[in-house]
Structure 1
Amino acid sequence: MSESNAPATVGDLLCFDLYATSRAVTAFYRPFLERTGLTYPQFLVLTLLWEQDEQPMGALAQRLDLESNTMSPLVKRMEKAGLLVRVTNPADERSVLVQLTDEGKKLRWLSHEMTGELGAALGMDDEEIAVLRKMLHRVRSGATS
């Protein structure tokens, strides 16, 4: 068997590199999140709401690429923790809007701290991070097309 026909090893797989990188970044964030009692998906929901408060639950799920059967329990746990509230959309009673509470707004510092620490840990400047993000967006959009 020639080298070009040799079976791929795990180390040869781009999918494994992406998977392992995702796990490493999530593990890096874990100590920050544990201080606040948040999970990584909860942090992502809060980040979207810090960008723009009062969003439809469906829009949040779509931006995070989550199914409604994943999003609903996630938001319910966050509501129970006092981080956000769900309200009926006055423009469409079939739609639920998600809004930050004061407690949810107070955690915004977390986003700034986590983002800065990750860049420093990677030893990458803002330009390098921008290039990496552009490449990852290309991978993600190509994988879903």
Structure 2
Amino acid sequence: MKDKTIDYLLRATWQAVSRMYNEEASKYEATMATGFVLLSIDKDKGTPSTTLGPKMGMEATSLTRTLKSMEDKGLLIRKKNPDDGRGVLIYLTKLGKEKRELSKSTVLKFNEAVKEYVTEEKLNHFKEVTEIINELIQNKRIFNQTDTINNETNH
């Protein structure tokens, strides 16, 4: 394929990033998903389990397995939500908070490395394009179009 499609570029890049993070995480007997969960849980107030999946874009079954594994490793604990007896809050343990800092520094290192090679202007264009793609998808303006895409999103 001479000209790569946008979806191919996104998928290939994400797979490379995912592989890189998983290789790094494996040095600490973890996974990229584990690191992502650690970063998604409020380190002080905890996080309702029901908000984690949507926040991370993770399917409930995958999230449940990841949370169970993390709980078994002593990275997090679950407590009943005092405001909603049916709900559960996820809290990081002391070990979970330490691993969270490790995950955070890994993500920041990746960001800094990219910024060494990509100008701020190009990075801003990249962010703008990804925001437009997400907006088009969320508003069902690609396959479920009810009207034509307006010029506001064509920057």
Q: Same fold (TM over 0.5)?
A: yes
Instruction: Give TM class, smaller chain.
Output: 0.7 to 0.9
> Does 1:66 find its partner at 2:65?
no
Structure 2: distance between partners of 1:39 and 1:27: 10
User: 2:103 is matched by which residue type in structure 1?
Assistant: L
Query: Are the equivalent residues in 1 in contact too, given 2:53–2:63 (CA < 8 A)?
Result: yes
Structure 1: give runs of 5+ residues left out of the alignment.
Answer: 1-8
Aligned match for 2:68, one of 73, 76, 86: 76
Which residue is 1:41 aligned to?
33
Structure 2: distance between partners of 1:16 and 1:10: 12
Change (3 A) 1:67 1:92: same
Change (3 A) 1:65 1:10: farther
Change (3 A) 1:128 1:112: farther
Write the deviation string for residues 90-118 of structure 1: whole angstroms up to 9, x where unpaired.
Answer: 11111111000000101213312332234
Which residue is 1:114 aligned to?
107
Displacement after TM superposition at 1:57 (Å):
0.7
Change (3 A) 1:110 1:125: farther
Structure 2: give runs of 5+ residues left out of the alignment.
Answer: 140-155
TM-score (norm. length: structure 1):
0.80
Sequence identity (%): 23
User: 2:104 is matched by which residue type in structure 1?
Assistant: S
Write the deviation string for residues 52-81 of structure 1: whole angstroms up to 9, x where unpaired.
Answer: 640001111111122322221211111111
Displacement after TM superposition at 1:10 (Å):
7.4
3-state SS of paired residue (2:8): helix
Higher helix proportion (structure 1 or 2): 1
Query: Are the equivalent residues in 2 in contact too, given 1:78–1:84 (CA < 8 A)?
Result: yes
TM-score (norm. length: structure 2):
0.75
**4+ long deviations beyond 6 Å:** none
